[in-house]
Structure 1
Amino acid sequence: MRQVQHLLHNGNRLLNDHTAPFRFGQELDLQGHGLFGFALLRQQDYRKLVNMVVQYLRVSLPLMDMEIHCTGELISIRLHDNWDLKKLKPMVANIYMGSIHALASLVCRTFTFEFDFACPGNSLAWQRLADGVEVKFNRPHNQVLMPLSGRQARDDDASVATYLAAARSREQIQGDDSLKVVIKVRHEIMNAPGRDSTLERVAQKLGMSTRSVRRHLGLAGFAFSGIRNDIRETFASRYLLETDMPLEKIADQLGYSDQASFSKAYRSWTGRTPGEVRRTSRP
């Protein structure tokens, strides 16, 4: 478990994308497991189906425990942190939520995900996670609410089999491809966050046209300038807090023509100037 926590901590630090754990959970593709798919084919009781999803996840992802409650047509799945994950708790909770969404989408159409922490990052990005998904923060528990009244009707084994086969629709596949482009763009900018981090240069390194890169980023809910600004802010904050590098040098490292331009950009990101950040970090 310590090794898992170490890996998750490093992944969370390097990704710099608060919605990535949810998307990672979706990408686990647990519904492709043959035995689980067979069980779904044979099960017509929707409450038992959801319970099966929970039990399957408890075995497949033994990082958190879960409890399920059924009230009328509403089912809730609540997460419990049995390992005292501390700062990793939001990340692990999001991985679970993404996996629950990928599996439970075989049962219902709409989801409300509630988290017991404040909204990290851009709130708009959270609302674009998937169709039929609502995300709420600062709630008492980490849980997902699923109304079965909006489920997709499936009358026989053949219809369930068809639904399982089509679980990864064309739109989802396109979305997956776009997310891969986001990851590649982020990687290229992190390797060179300075003057070379232009859309044209990154697209060239990826062997794509600028139009294609921009389209994929848009489909995934991102903009090139937003990704670059997020990465530059991260680099700038580390330089300011962890080094004595002069502000002029930091500005040059991040692709700004002078210190004034860098300071203006940094203040727009954080609400503070680089000088203020550096002064408050000193004992």
Structure 2
Amino acid sequence: MQQFKDYTGSVYGGLGHLLYAYSQAKGLAISEKLKQIQNLERVDFCLWRELLTEMQQHCQIPAFGLEVAEFVQPKHLGIIAYIALSCNTLGEALQRYYDFHRLIYDGSPLQVNMLDDYLAIGWGDIPYHLTTQVTHELSIALMLQFLKCFMALDDIHIHEVHFIHPAPKNIAIYEQYFRCKVRFSQPISQIIIPVYELAKPFHQGDQTLQHLLMQQAQALLNKLPNSTQLDQRLQQAILTGLQKNQYQIEPIAQQLNMSVRQLQRHLQQQGTTYQQRMQEVRHLLAEQYLKDPHLSLQEIALLLSYSEQSAFQRAFKQWSGFTPQQWRQQQYS
């Protein structure tokens, strides 16, 4: 471990939850080391690498990182996943990933280059001895698996995938998984996508929600790694719950894998209540929607899960001291 002494990179704590979920699904014994990181906001990259290496050696599965990626859920990637879910196209989602990738792995810049008619997204500038084939294949496979499962892009076409480490015996496994040519011993680990793929649309895009999530993500970047993971996940859950009219405390607590009492106790320790947090999110979202002149007050009320426009108007006046009409007029005066 001495060779890693000066290395300060870290990964999002949700990736530790991913390894835990994989271990449970496969009936593997869960090490104390893996248990100890379950409540961490971020995990040192060296520890993350150790855990992956130990699990790979125990399982003896070829292309281990590809198998782990099959179990990814949006919660394992944090706010960056919810931002992607609010995008309109693959290109927009990849741009947001570029903007906020440090929230997943903070340690080296993501490299994005145009190669004629292709876009190359690479993981460079990480010292070779700090990486393994598994760390790189999992990084690429997580992005691809997320796009397939949660962005409904099962037909995404990849031109090539490159890895810096030497070729294993089972190259065919990688080419079957990525459905393209996979090259090893390359200068940089990267995924190369045809530019025309970037225009592929997503059906659930919501620009207002994305804007609010991006503000939150930027705030997290600014104070990395001191954010509170539970509070971040709570705000995400309320934001998305409002879109589905499932914002009551019971489904939100369930989404956070907590009991209602546990969530109430956490909020009480912060001097607030669930109702206050939910109204804060509603207020933020309401202001973003009001900035869109094409949305009527009735539509905004529905987007915020109010059954009547009058209830939204009363709530907004309590929050801001203005009616929604007055607040909107101020924005354009």
* TM-score, normalization by structure 2: 0.39
